[in-house]
């Protein structure tokens, strides 16, 4: 555990006692702080009380009177749609509000020679990019750690050494509130609509992501520039056309004197000062199928190069990357039919990228539709032979797909897998890419993906 420094003998309030909140409470206590904890759920309170933390309802008058900071968990709204009562009370009392990511960077600032930190954010691909970069570093013999929105809570890591590299996946919920954000390398994969109610629209969502690059200023930034927000961000960070502190990741042809990693038609190419440094055929990399994963590979490549790794070492690691569970994960092949679990494709954009990765698809989709509906999927349904729709509102989901795709209402995963496997022919892919949240039938996208894998394993 990384002890949180700077609060010795002071009272710090912790709101939300899930994975990140309870870990933050422990790390604060290890650093000498007195922790006052609260969770709106009885389970969180019981877990904290069992570890000896003081419990006090932080929504009550006077609960924050002697607190120097309020640390809140990422899932608790602090601005939109409505601030949590305890957070509003902290504002009124003048108590700074922070989260575990801010505490982590603040604590690293006390080290004489801190480890290298790579922080990765974006709408889609940040989990795969983070896991892939971690894999590349380990393969190259580096002492690397994966944490944040993936793997372990960041403060749960063992205290790192000066030669270590910490790879953090950061969501907009985490970057929006952290009071200290000082990675050595920051990565922006892309931006598509998501969490808009939490951020008050696209502008607020982008602003939350942008803070990773503006609060402390990374030494180097890797920016996906195919969306207008990424192009804007790269332009804001670069001080000259050839400023190689900004590495642009794009599908565009190489241009200019800057540092660029492109991914086009299955090939990755690195250019610097108008000269090609390396190229890799990604079409043979089994763990990274499709153009969206090629973007992830390009972002991880750029970050690894910024850390000083050689192209040959990165290429070797790409070729044996096993893939991340529930993200374009190839789980089986039966009689020439491939079964792919992309349960993490919970929004329209992620599902569209998955649908573009395979030529003939038996598509399992459905669940809780997100704001905006499914209109954005219609241009990407050309590879779908038939859709097998699951979810409590499966019929409504099928109607929302429109007349452009043949559908079969299955409702549950067992029926969908059985019917898709029965219909599929050699050369086709049975793809779970729901384009919807899982909470109508499962408590997480992971449980949904595990159910898919289990049903595939049960096929005769």
Residues 6+ apart with CB under 8 A from 75: 16, 18, 173
Q: Locate tokens 């904890």: which residue?
A: 37
Which tokens belong to 459? 């096929």
Residues 6+ apart with CB under 8 A from 74: 20, 99, 149, 171, 173, 174, 177
CB 58 within 8 A of CB 89: yes
Please check if 122 is assigned to a binding site: yes
Q: Locate tokens 């419990």: which residue?
A: 55
d(CA 376, CA 21): 36
Please check if 126 is assigned to a binding site: yes
Which ranges of 342-393 would DSSP assign to H, the alpha helix? 348-355
d(CA 323, CA 393): 31
Cis peptide before 12 (omega within 30 of 0): no
Please check if 149 is assigned to a binding site: no
d(CA 125, CA 299): 9
Please check if 124 is assigned to a binding site: yes
Residue (of 235, 269, 239) closest to 253 by Cα position:
269
3-class secondary-structure state, position 131: helix
Please check if 21 is assigned to a binding site: no
Residue (of 245, 177, 244, 240) closest to 212 by Cα position:
177
Residues 6+ apart with CB under 8 A from 89: 58, 59, 61, 63, 64
DSSP 8-state code for residue 10: -
3-class secondary-structure state, position 410: strand
Q: Encode 56-97 in three state secondary structure.
A: CCCCCCCCCCCEEEEEECCCCCCCCCCCCHHHHHHHHHCCCE
Residues 6+ apart with CB under 8 A from 412: 390, 441
Annotated binding site: 122-128
Residue numbers in the known binding site for ATP are: 122-128
């Amino acid at each position: 555990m990384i002890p949180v420094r700077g609060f010795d003998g002071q009272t710090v309030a912790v709101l939300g006692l899930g994975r990140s909140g309870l870990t933050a409470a422990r790390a604060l206590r290890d650093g000498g702080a007195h922790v006052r904890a609260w969770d709106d759920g009885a389970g969180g309170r019981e877990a904290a009380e069992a570890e000896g933390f003081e419990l006090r309802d932080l929504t009550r008058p006077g609960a924050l009177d002697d607190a120097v900071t309020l640390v809140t968990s990422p899932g608790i709204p602090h601005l939109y749609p409505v601030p949590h009562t305890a957070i509003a009370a902290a504002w009124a009392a003048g108590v700074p509000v922070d989260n575990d990511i801010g505490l982590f960077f603040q604590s690293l600032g006390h080290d004489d020679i801190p480890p290298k930190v790579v922080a990765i954010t974006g709408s889609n691909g940040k989990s795969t990019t983070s896991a892939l970069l971690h894999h590349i570093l380990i393969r190259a013999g580096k002492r690397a750690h994966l944490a944040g929105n993936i793997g372990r809570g960041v403060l749960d890591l063992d205290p790192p050494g000066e030669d270590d590299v910490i790879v953090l996946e950061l969501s907009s919920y985490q970057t929006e509130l952290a009071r200290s954000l000082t990675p050595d390398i920051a990565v922006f994969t892309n931006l598509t609509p998501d969490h808009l109610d939490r951020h008050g629209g696209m502008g607020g969502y982008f602003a939350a992501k942008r803070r990773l690059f503006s609060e402390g200023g990374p030494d180097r930034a890797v920016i996906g520039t195919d969306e207008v927000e990424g192009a804007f961000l790269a332009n804001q960070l670069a001080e000259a056309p050839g400023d190689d502190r900004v590495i642009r990741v794009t599908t565009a042809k190489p241009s200019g004197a800057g540092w660029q990693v492109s991914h086009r038609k299955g090939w990755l190419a690195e250019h610097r000062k108008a000269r090609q440094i390396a190229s890799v055929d990604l079409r043979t990399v089994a763990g990274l199928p499709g153009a969206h994963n090629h973007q992830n590979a390009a972002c991880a490549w750029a970050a690894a190069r910024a850390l000083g790794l050689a192209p040959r070492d990165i290429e070797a690691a790409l070729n044996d990357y096993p893939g991340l569970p529930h993200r374009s994960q190839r789980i089986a092949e039966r009689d020439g039919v491939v079964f792919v679990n992309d349960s993490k494709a919970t929004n329209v954009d992620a599902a569209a990228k998955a649908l573009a990765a395979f030529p003939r698809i038996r598509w399992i989709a459905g669940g809780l539709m997100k704001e905006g509906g499914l209109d954005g999927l219609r241009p990407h349904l050309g590879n779908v032979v038939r859709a097998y729709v699951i979810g409590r509102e499966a019929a409504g989901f099928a109607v929302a797909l429109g007349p452009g795709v043949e559908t079969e209402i299955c409702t549950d995963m067992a029926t969908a897998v059985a019917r898709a496997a029965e219909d599929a022919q050699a050369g086709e892919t049975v793809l779970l890419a729901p384009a919807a949240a899982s909470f109508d039938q499962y408590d997480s996208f992971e449980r949904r993906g595990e159910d898919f894998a289990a049903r595939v394993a049960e096929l005769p």
